Amino acid sequence: MDMQTLVLASAEIFLLTMICVVLVVDLFVTDQNRTITFGLSLASLVGTGFLVLSNTPATTQYLFDGSYVSDPLAGLLKMASIVMVGIGFIYSRSYLIQSKLMKGEFFLLSLFGLLGILIMISANSLLIMYLGLETLALSLYALVAFERNSRDAAESAMKYFILGAIASGSLLYGISWVYGVTGAIEFNEIATAIANDPSLNSLPLWFGVSFMIVGIAFKFGAVPFHMWLPDVYQGARTPVTLFIATAPKLAAFALIYRVLVDGLGDLHASWQAIIMIISLLSMVLGNIVAIAQTNIKRMLGYSAIGHVGFIFAGIFTGSQIGYSAALFYSLTYVLMAAGAFGLVIILSDQKEAESLEDFKGLGQRNPWLAMLMLFIMLGMAGIPPWVGFFAKLTIINTVVEAGFTWFAIVMVLSSVIGAFYYLRVIWYMYFEKAVNTKAINMGKDIGLVASLNGLLILGLGIFPATLMQYCLSVIN
């Protein structure tokens, strides 16, 4: 093992070391001084981010005997995940203090989850990918159940755990078939094996791939494997929901990209139809059911299902621009999701601001926050000039280019349905009188992060070219 290998994996190694440090330090910190844990966790994130930034190679590098990969795509996804987790920490701090949940475990589990995400993003073998996935999943189960005395949290954690275990089992089962047929577990070797012997491209392999897709779709929360998602979003504490809604989605993108494109790209014709159906169902069902929700977290959960449908639509086209569009969509979506849950956190005091009613009259209580929420909602609805529009535009463009104009029509119609429930939030904020007229007090740091988050959604919408170009270049 040479130095170069260690340098390329230094971010993960550093993060793991820091987790151990935080773990030990947290033992000696009392509840009053929990800010130390918070600060240390943020510092670990900054350090990890710095290492990712400085050690991402310009070309694809394989390390650890080919089971790990470092490339610009991984760099981008890792950076975005780290930023999302960092934003989540800042949003959550005063909420956790208020609800007496400022425990070291929150930060530790989140950091462990992030470690799993980083490993998933860089995995180049089915087993490493599975390891990363489980590291993430186990942290998430525990995070959801983090508030011990809450029945809702326990229930949703249980649901999440059982369904998640089934999905992992399905994924592992699929992995074993793929390994059995191709004799390889590294993605590039699987691709080579299929290319060298086209006769492998037959029923046993498709059987394995189908099971793997089930597992992946579950992790994304795509229909028909979405049952856990609304319950978990609603049952978990909002900071946890924020975590689940953001960085793991990027990991899931890496998962689907590495498996289906890097590994099984030659089988595109076989998996295209499955992904397309999943995409269609997710978009339609997610957007329609979201209309009926009165709990904002649940509504955003169904909206997430709808957005996943769009991401899958970019994947099924099987083209470079399709993948890069899906990447752009994932990145911008998590940005908006972070902002949305961040605002829910800000509005919560004493009790969760999870009902749509809690947004009533926000336009008068705090015009600035209301405007940020307006940006986020319109961004999610895909109204220009907010960035969500350009994300949808790129996806629709690849779908039309692949010859599926009818699918593009379904996509735009489902976004019209979606527009209704996003507009409803705006309606509650601006057109209704406030029920709770208490001034919203939040720390300067939270205000700053929320403002940057909201303005970025507008800014990236007006100048989307750079990020779009970058997404294209990392996919090529």
Partner 1 sequence: MLMNSILSTMIWLPILAGVVLLFIGDGDQRKHNIIRYLSLSASIVTLLLGIWLYFEFDNTTHSMQFIEQATWIASLNIEYYLGVDGISVPLILLTVFITPFVVASSWDVIKVRPAQYFAAFLILEGLMIGVFSALDAILFYVFWEAMLVPMFLIIGIWGGERRVYATLKFFLYTFLGSVLMLVSFIYLYGQTANFNLLSFMAAPLSLLEQQLIFIALLLAFAVKVPMWPVHTWLPDAHVEAPTGGSVILAAIMLKMGGYGFIRLSMPITPDASEYFSFMMIVLSLIAVTYIGFVALMQKDMKKLIAYSSIAHMGFVTLGFFIVWSFSTTTEGALGVTGAMVQMISHGLISGAMFLCVGVLYDRMHSREIAAYGGVANTMPVFAAFMVLFSMANAGLPGTSGFVGEFMVILASFKANIWYGFLAATTLILGAAYTLWMVKRVLYGEVANDNVAKLTDLNDREFYILGALAISVLMVGIWPAPMIDMMSATIEQLMLQISETKIVGVDL
Residues in contact with partner 1 by the rule CB under 8 A: 363-364, 367, 371, 378, 383-385, 389-390, 393-394, 396-397, 400-401, 405, 408-409, 412-413, 415-416, 419-420, 423, 426-427, 430-431, 464-465, 468-469, 472
Q: Given the complex with partner 1, which of 193 and 321 has the nearer CB atom?
A: 321
Among residues 145, 136, 160, 141, the alpha carbon closest in space to that of 230 is found at 160
Backbone region of residue 318 per phi and psi (left: phi > 0; alpha: psi in -120 to 50; beta: other values): left
Please identify, using beta-carbon distances, which residue of 25 and 412 lies nearer to partner 1.
412
**Nearer of residues 118 and 331 to partner 1, judged by Cβ:** 331
> What's the CA gap between 223 and 306, in Å, rounded?
9
End-to-end CA distance of the chain: 29
Nearer to partner 1, 277 or 383 (CB): 383
In the complex, least distance from residue 42 CB atom to partner 1, rounded to whole angstroms? 31
- The residue among 155 and 401 lying less far from partner 1, judged by its C-beta, is 401
Q: Which of 132, 309, 127 is nearest to 226 (CA)?
A: 309
CA separation for the pair 271, 275 (Å, rounded): 6
Residue 427 beta carbon to partner 1: minimum distance, rounded to whole angstroms? 6
**Minimum distance between the CB of residue 279 and partner 1, rounded to whole angstroms?**
16
| Least Å from the CB of residue 400 to partner 1 | 5
Whichever of 138 and 472 has its CB closer to partner 1, that residue is 472
**Smaller CB distance to partner 1: residue 25 or 406?**
406
Task: Give CA–CA dist 83/26, Å, rounded.
Answer: 23
Q: Tell me how far, at minimum, the Cβ of 346 lies from partner 1, in Å.
A: 20
Closest approach of Cβ 289 to partner 1, in Å?
18
- Cα–Cα distance measured from residue 300 to residue 295, given in angstroms and rounded to the nearest whole number: 9
The least CB distance from residue 324 to partner 1, in Å, is 8
Which one, 14 or 420, has the nearer CB to partner 1? 420
Longest C-alpha distance within the chain, in Å?
A: 69
CB of 260 to partner 1, least distance (A): 23
Q: Which two tokens stand for residue 310?
A: 């769009």
Cβ nearer to partner 1, comparing 36 with 440: 440
Q: Which is nearer to partner 1, 287 or 348 (CB)?
A: 287
Shortest reach from residue 463's CB to partner 1, in Å: 8
Q: Of 195 and 413, which CB lies nearer to partner 1 in the complex structure?
A: 413
**Residue 395 Cβ vs partner 1, minimum distance, rounded to whole Å:** 10
Nearest approach, Cβ of residue 367 and partner 1 (Å): 7
Least gap, CB of 418 to partner 1 (angstroms): 10
What is the number of alpha carbons within 13 Å of residue 264 lying toward its C-beta?
Answer: 32
